[in-house]
Structure 1
């Protein structure tokens, strides 16, 4: 039997989760509910749960305040979140699962099944990835470390990024560009997922600067740049484009 803890500041969501978990008849026993960081830390240290259903925003802080105070993380986490894709994309890439609010019982069942079957535990670096997503989203800017110092780039001014031989060049809408000595993957997790998409191994584009997409698989930005869309990313790209 898996021991679970629900950490969520909304009473109706906690009760809804309890009801759904009971109805699913899984090998999950909910040992408690918490609405604050303080209570969650105390219960976690005392009861040592195997699985935590964790909301992002809590009564007296957020999920990352809780994780930092627990420190030694030996439990699996399923985020219960209202945050959109910029956080979820990072979560998907790690050993962390998520359920979007309002909670769907089928998604809850799938998440629990994956948690039960998985042998992996959450890693601190995966928590940091999600935390970085939230921090950078709130700041609406990216800070590059360059040879001559630090360059601040606002998301709404960045048209696209291009990677070449371990370096990444950032192109702005005013014609300026800056080169940083890190590969593209180092910055992908810091960019707002709602606005940016990696269309190709070497490119991330700002969806707000798209002029058109042609049948040959190329994006044309408003500034005239022609950027490829990899075939395996085509379906996702078109779906994102239609949502704009």
Structure 2
């Protein structure tokens, strides 16, 4: 499948390196435009209507996020390019959008392009881009949404509605307030990394809980969550877990 792409990066050297790597390692990508100017990038994208945009995040006049927010109908797949901004990576990960860390690794580029090609075929770009823009305007993590790939497609779930995640045989079942559970093909390790903050805690190798739903802790090593879910806390995690609750 041939994919049309536009490259946006304010650094001429980085732009040239990225273009060269795409030409060498991603033969299905056809670069139809490139620019160092974010404002011109908006015009270029709206005129050329690429299927894929490689977008630098940290640009002086306008960030990659601001650029995306200024496009009326961002119906294209995005691969962000960043020199590693933790907040940026969190926002991108929550929305299942691709990214590359500078200096761009050849294999990472190939992997990101393969995933982007699949996403283009699935036509999920517009929903994910809108969610990213929405999340960036939300100040507290608990009010953000994450994308959960499931058997039926993509599920957009508010973080504060997740009660707990249960890992089972490489899959994860996500229990959501007042909704039926979602089964994801991603492991619980993926969700532990994605939801890493003070409000989620991996109490057991199979259970990641939202501590806002804890109703009681039992001395024998169990937590009782909202909706009468009783889950075990691993013996080697109990002390740290209790300390984290006291410091909450």
Q: Give your verdict on TM over 0.5.
A: yes
Ranges in structure 2 where 5+ consecutive residues have no aligned partner = 144-159, 164-176, 178-194, 202-207, 213-233
Asked if 1:16 corresponds to 2:17, the answer is yes
Which among 225, 228, 234 is matched to residue 246 of structure 2?
Answer: 225
- Give the direction of change, closer, same or farther, for the CA distance of 1:99–1:56 in structure 2 (3 Å limit): same
Indicate if the aligned counterparts of 2:52 and 2:79 stay in contact, CA closer than 8 A. yes
Do residues 131 (structure 1) and 136 (structure 2) align?
yes
Deviations 1:50-69 (A, max 9, x none): 10001112242112321222
Q: Deviations over 1:88-140 (max 9, x none)?
A: 2332232411111221111111000011122121324322255247xx5xxxx
After TM superposition, the structure 1 = structure 2 runs for residues 199-214 of structure 1, keeping only pairs within 5 Å, are 199=201, 200-203=208-211
Q: Is the 8 A contact 1:7 1:54 kept in 2?
A: yes
Contact 1:9–1:35 (8 Å) recurs in 2 = yes
| Secondary structure of residue in 2 paired with 1:88 | helix
Change over 3 Å in CA distance of 1:37–1:101 after alignment to 2: same
SS of 2:68 mapped into structure 1: helix
Aligned length: 171
Cα RMSD (Å): 3.6
Q: Per the alignment, do residues 85 and 127 of structure 1 end up closer, same or farther by CA in structure 2, a change over 3 Å counting?
A: same
Displacement over 4 Å in runs of 4+: 142-145, 163-166, 193-197, 220-224
Q: Is contact 1:20–1:105 with CA below 8 Å preserved after alignment?
A: yes
1:84 to partner: Cα distance: 3.4
1:20 deviation in Å? 0.8
Q: In 2, are the aligned partners of 1:37 and 1:66 still within 8 Å (CA)?
A: yes
1:221 Cα deviation from its structure 2 partner: 6.6
Whether the aligned pair in 2 keeps the contact of 1:41 and 1:69 (CA below 8 Å) is: yes
Q: CA deviation at 1:79?
A: 0.6
Among 111, 121, 126, which residue is 2:125 paired with? 121
Change in CA separation of 1:196 and 1:125 when aligned onto 2, cut-off 3 Å: farther
CA distance change for structure 1 residues 196 and 41 in 2, over 3 Å: closer, same or farther?
A: same
Name which of structure 1's ranges 35-44 and 65-74 shifts more when overlaid on structure 2: 65-74
> Using the alignment, how far apart are the partners of 2:125 and 2:56 within structure 1?
18
* Partner of residue 73, structure 2: 72
Which runs of structure 2 are paired with 1:90-239 in the superposition (5 Å)?
Answer: 90-118=91-119, 119=122, 120-123=124-127, 124-129=129-134, 131-132=136-137, 136=139, 196=198, 198-199=200-201, 200-203=208-211, 215-218=235-238, 219-220=240-241, 225=246
Distance 1:23 1:2 in 2: 15
Deviation, structure 1 residue 5:
0.6
2:75 is paired with a residue whose SS is coil
Which residue number in structure 1 is paired with residue 172 of structure 2?
A: none
Gapped runs of 5+ residues in structure 1?
137-141, 146-162, 167-182, 184-192, 205-213, 228-244
TM-score for both structures, normalised by structure 1 = 0.58
